[in-house]
Structure 1
Amino acid sequence: MEGAILPNLPNTRVAVVTGGNKGIGFEVCRQLASGGISVVLTARDEMRGGEAVERLNALGLSHVVFHQLEITDASSAAALAGFLKTRFGKLDILVNNAAVGGVEYGQEFDTNEEKFSGLDFHERVEWMLKNAREPIDSAKNSVKTNYYGTKHVIEALLPLLQASSEGRIVNVSSNYGLLRHIGSEEVRQELNDVDNLTEGRLDDLLEKFIKDFKAGELEMHGWSTKFSAYKVAKAAMNAYSRILARRHPELRVNCAHPGFVKTDMSMGSGVLTPEEGARNLVKVALLPDGGPTGAYFAMGEEAPFV
């Protein structure tokens, strides 16, 4: 299944979706493919990725293929870039959906949605905050995956996006990545100052965050103490997206929050279906030429980064 040959479709747009084997990513693949776009569904697990493509092909969506991708591995991203260059010579849409929650739940918890019946939005969020644990290894993995992993993919595929006349990057974000979740006014201002912010400074801030986490000094230094690594990594990716948009005005680079979706990451506690969440991302991926860039979208509508 990996690298299966698609018919020659010279006028068809090509999209890559990371973390496409389930949940929101799978729905993004389905919706893009339903619109006639050739989709390369990527996932870390080859078997699950292949099975996801088979499900989409069975729906009559023949222009979907699988390619393995481990976003934290730069060589894996390079291999994907090589496949895309050989097969298509360009990339029109990149949806960076692959992510980890950066927290752990006890073995007694599962993704059974029935336990959330009767709970409103705020009660469901409160359940997650109460029951999630964030060990240091999970925090490190969150930063490694949600920021640096996504960045690996962007850097590897950037030349192919530039080869398109309508290159678009959608970085799946979260309302947890908004600057209001960072208590330090200094850090908030720095992340919001995209005219002067650099990738090197983002590296410094993430390194400081991990240092403060290890020392048990998150609150002291103005970091959140709940889902802290996820929030910081998403805030950093929002900032990097804005840097990238300024650097490459020929592209459309945007961040998009799909909403609070029922997925494995939310332990099924969300209020939207994966289909609804994906629709909010696809809307941003298909913005018209000349549309916004360097922007943040919440539930499909442009909103502030703060």
Structure 2
Amino acid sequence: IDMLTKVAVVTGSNKGVGLAVVRALCKQWQGDVYLTARDVGRGQVAVESLALEGLKPLFHQLNINDLNSIKTAAAFFKEKYGGVDILINNAAIAFKAADTTPVAVQAEVTLRTNFFASRDVLTHFLPLIKPGGTNTPLHLKK
């Protein structure tokens, strides 16, 4: 267990806001930064794109809709780092306005991911948050 290296985990970070947060953390924070994605291929492409910018994020597969994936990731961070210093629970879904999926299905899928799956991540990761630190908000510059 490497208790000395600080570690940040950003869920759903192969694109969009999550990718921007990983980029900013890699530039401004001292520690290992994990980009996570449900799809390994897309996650690795995102890591490679940041590597072209001279950044060094690490990758771990994490599908927040899959309880086994959450448990596997949590076990990895507990075993490798003894916990997590920063968790940014960013993974979510949104249907496009023009999507023809019935509204009831959209509501169910959205709640399943954005509420229940996010809650599952917190259930398994909050016990891993390392104590200490200054509890100072982290303000990331663009």
Give the TM interval when normalised to the shorter protein: 0.7 to 0.9
How far has the Cα of 1:77 moved from its partner?
0.5
The 5-angstrom pairing of residues 221-300 of structure 1 reads 284=137, 286=138
Q: TM-score, length-normalised on structure 2?
A: 0.84
Aligned pair count?
138
The unaligned stretches of length 5 or more in structure 1 are 1-7, 107-131, 168-251, 253-282, 288-306
How far has the Cα of 1:158 moved from its partner?
1.6
CA contact (8 A) 1:103 1:138 kept: no
How far has the Cα of 1:83 moved from its partner?
1.0
2:84 maps to a residue whose letter is L
What is the match of residue 42 of structure 2? Answer: 48
The unaligned stretches of length 5 or more in structure 2 are none
Matched, 1:90 2:109: no
Match of residue 156, structure 1, among 124, 130, 134: 124
* SS of match in other structure, 1:47: helix
Match of residue 165, structure 1, among 111, 132, 141: 132
The 5-angstrom pairing of residues 1-306 of structure 1 reads 11-35=4-28, 36-62=30-56, 64-106=57-99, 135-161=103-129, 163-166=130-133, 284=137, 286=138
C-alpha change, 1:103 and 1:59, in structure 2 (3 Å) is closer
What is the match of residue 177 of structure 1? Answer: none
Percent sequence identity over aligned pairs: 39
Q: TM-score, length-normalised on structure 1?
A: 0.41
How far has the Cα of 1:102 moved from its partner?
4.2
Counterpart CA distance in 1 for 2:82 and 2:124 is: 14
1:165 maps to a residue whose letter is G
* SS of match in other structure, 1:100: coil
How far has the Cα of 1:11 moved from its partner?
4.2
- What do you get for the CA RMSD once the two structures are aligned? 2.5
Q: Deviations over 1:16-62 (max 9, x none)?
A: 10110011100100101111331111111110001111112222222
Counterpart CA distance in 2 for 1:166 and 1:159 is: 16
Counterpart CA distance in 2 for 1:133 and 1:74 is: 25
C-alpha change, 1:59 and 1:9, in structure 2 (3 Å) is farther
1:146 maps to a residue whose letter is N
Q: Deviations over 1:96-152 (max 9, x none)?
A: 11111145525xxxxxxxxxxxxxxxxxxxxxxxxx876211110100000011111
Counterpart CA distance in 2 for 1:9 and 1:54 is: 25
How far has the Cα of 1:10 moved from its partner?
5.3
Counterpart CA distance in 1 for 2:103 and 2:11 is: 25
2:109 maps to a residue whose letter is N
